[in-house]
Amino acid sequence: MHMKLQDVRIKYLRFFESQGHTTLPSASLVPENDPTTLFTGSGMQPLLPFLLGEKHPQGVRLVNSQKCFRAEDIDEIGDNRHTTFFEMLGNWSLGDYFKQEQIPWFFEFLTKKIGLDPSKLYVTVFAGDKKNNISRDMEAVELWKKLFKKHGIDAKDIEILTEQQGGERGMQGGRIFYYDAKKNWWSRAGVPDNMPSGEPGGPDTEVFYDFGTKHDTKYGKQCHPNCDCERFMEIGNSVFMEYIKNSDGTFSRLPQHNVDFGGGLERITATSNNNADIFKVDALDIVIKHIEKLSNTAYESEHLRSFRIIADHLRAAVFMIADGVIPTNTEAGYFARRLLRRAMLHMDTLGMPKNTLTLLVPDITNAYAKAYPVLQEREQNIQMEIQEEEERFRKTLQKGLHEFQKITTKEISGEAAFDLYQTYGFPIEVTEELARKKNVRVNRKEFDEKMKRHQEASRIGAEKKFKGGLADHSDMSVKYHTATHLLHQALRTVLGTHVYQKGSNITPERLRFDFTHGAKMTNEEKKKVEELVNQKIQEALPVTYEILPIEEAKKRGAIGLFDDQYGDEVKVYQMGNSATGIFSMEFCGGPHVENTKKLGEAGKFIIQKEEAVSAGVRRIKAIFKK
């Protein structure tokens, strides 16, 4: 049977539901109230507060398939396994089950529900960290050995430690491989030495599928599970979050031991069909076939990389736009623009007719119709945004080509190549391709150095901009988060009930709040909103929450950010009570201050700026000022 993404997704959710898990809908690609990152990049990201001990309204066993986007993978697109957008299958134990349940369950899912041959599965485990007094994960090794033994496989455990050593030592007849913390330890900060005090983390065990292809020695003399030669593909990673770093640099056991599993839906689907090319899964393959028709070029050709880039980048952009991201020059919109423009350049490489990228959109919306019906609902808007972006880019591209033609030297400096990239949106590979036609070389080393400095400067700017975000639950971040609820209701009171939150971004210095409204606010309207927020702060409204069935919450008048991201039960925060009158009631995970009078300690609420974000969406930036 040739499995589709929908088949594997449903099998996974149903399997873990049978093990007592509650299925959560996917959160938005744009994180709510997390200014530390532009996109949701893993299944655990929206669940971090609960992994740190906050009680989840759906219980201690959770499962879902989460939409994810990772910008760092953009330059890797073109091989057989990397995509910028992907779905992460995830299951979590919040202080409930641990290794003894997780490892056998995932093995059972792969072998019995997906039908993978156990002899094609290889696993890696944590080798230990002597410096930090963290022992190697022998418990996971013994569990894996027992599971393989039931299938008549003698699972020999082998020491590898690093990728370089793997390339030297090879498989050595092994089935279970020990790697160091760079490969088999998880925390938000990376390896144990990089973790700040108070940060949780733990060892992990990864499962790899062996496609049996011939080893390519350019990746090392010998092959091993973490080799990049495309023989092995990682398909799942179980993190055992059981440690926390102390202020003195040592590690202690967490009182709540968690399981945080992540598995690539596309990768597991590819292995179920024993095809190492992830672009052959149904949702991408249908796009590839359509590109073949439009370009009159075969996928299996010298232009294979261009096919993959177009299919990947368009899918990611479609999901972004559906979640409210439009192509711009800043923040999340920058990545939507970069994806689309890069796809358009590769359309030209394939000789596709101009303005045909929108024709591929229905292929994607149809493929995901059951899992994400919102894509079809917003299909026309998605096509319109893509069409307008192509029209803008074509004008810019002509200017860039005109500038390129002015270059008459035998070498294009890194600075000139970078200017083409920054000003005209030319990826370096396009500049190099044009240069080859003119028999001109590009100083790639100088360009890479320039790009690295640019990225570092951007990263430093982002860290400064987002320092401390809500993810750290600092006092001021919590106050600003609470203020967004007052602001939301004040806007609805002053402007009308058509106003709904479209997103927020909170730091200890200010709040930023996006909302639906079709016109610029007048000075009088802004003043009324400010006065209402400050009035409710002075009224010292109590802030409380209840966990309610979602239908009951809606019946009571609670409002939420995204209707499709909540489970059967929700956490509802309200400001005010029967004595004071209820001012605000919203679905929210928290945290908040206990009484609005705490906000008065920070000063007076002031709207600094109100501006347009996109058609029908406005943005307010506000601060507390003493």
**How many distinct structural domains can be found in the chain?**
4
**Are 589 and 547 in contact, with CB atoms under 8 Å apart?**
no
pLDDT per residue as tens digits for the range 610-623:
998 776 789 999 99
Q: 171 and 29, same structural domain? A: yes
Same domain? For 320 and 421 the reply is no
Q: Rounded distance, CA 385 to CA 233, Å?
A: 35
* pLDDT given for residue 48 in this prediction: 80
Same domain for 293 and 251? Answer: no
Residues 267 and 281: their CA atoms lie apart, in Å, by 9
Q: Has residue 588 got a pLDDT over 90?
A: no
Residue 36's pLDDT band (boundaries 50, 70, 90)?
low
Judged on CB neighbours under 10 Å (0-12, 13-18, 19+), 328 is middle
Query: Quick one: 151 and 29 in the same domain?
Result: yes
User: What is the rounded distance in angstroms from the CA atom of residue 50 to the CA atom of residue 567?
Assistant: 15
Helix (H, G, I), strand (E, B) or coil at 344: helix
The tens digit of pLDDT for each residue in 164-197 reads 999 999 999 999 999 999 999 998 888 999 999 8
**Looking at the structure, do residues 454 and 597 belong to the same domain, yes or no?**
no
| Domain coverage including residue 581 | 470-625
Instruction: Indicate whether 402 and 416 sit together in one domain.
Output: no
Of 250, 277, 304, the domain-final residue: 277
pLDDT by residue (tens digit) across 395-435?
Answer: 888 888 888 888 778 899 998 888 888 777 676 767 887 88
477 and 457 co-located in one domain? no
Conformation bin of residue 12: beta by default, left when phi > 0, alpha when psi is -120 to 50 = alpha
Query: 51: closest CA among 220, 362, 302, 262?
Result: 262
If asked whether residues 273 and 287 sit together in one domain, one would say no
Measured distance CA(519)–CA(503) in Å, rounded? 18
Please state which of the ranges 123-137, 212-226, 319-333 shows the lowest mean pLDDT: 319-333
- Residue pair 394/325 in contact (Cβ under 8 Å)? The answer is no
Least confident of 143-147, 457-461, 539-543: 457-461
CA R_g for the chain: 26
Average pLDDT estimate for 547-566: 73
- 543 backbone dihedrals φ, ψ, rounded to 5°: -115, 115
Which residues are 515's β-sheet partners? Answer: 501, 618
Distances (CA, A) of 604 to 26, 480, 485, 597, 621: 37, 12, 16, 11, 14
pLDDT at 35: 58
Q: Are residues 93 and 229 part of one domain?
A: yes
Contact 500, 608 (CB under 8 A): no
| Selection from 209, 248, 201 nearest residue 119 by Cα | 209
Question: Which token pair is 53?
Answer: 């001990």
Give bridge partners of residue 390 from the DSSP assignment: none
Beta strand pairing status for 176-179 and 501-507?
Answer: unpaired
Residue 584, classed as helix, strand or coil, is strand
Mean pLDDT score, 126-146: 96
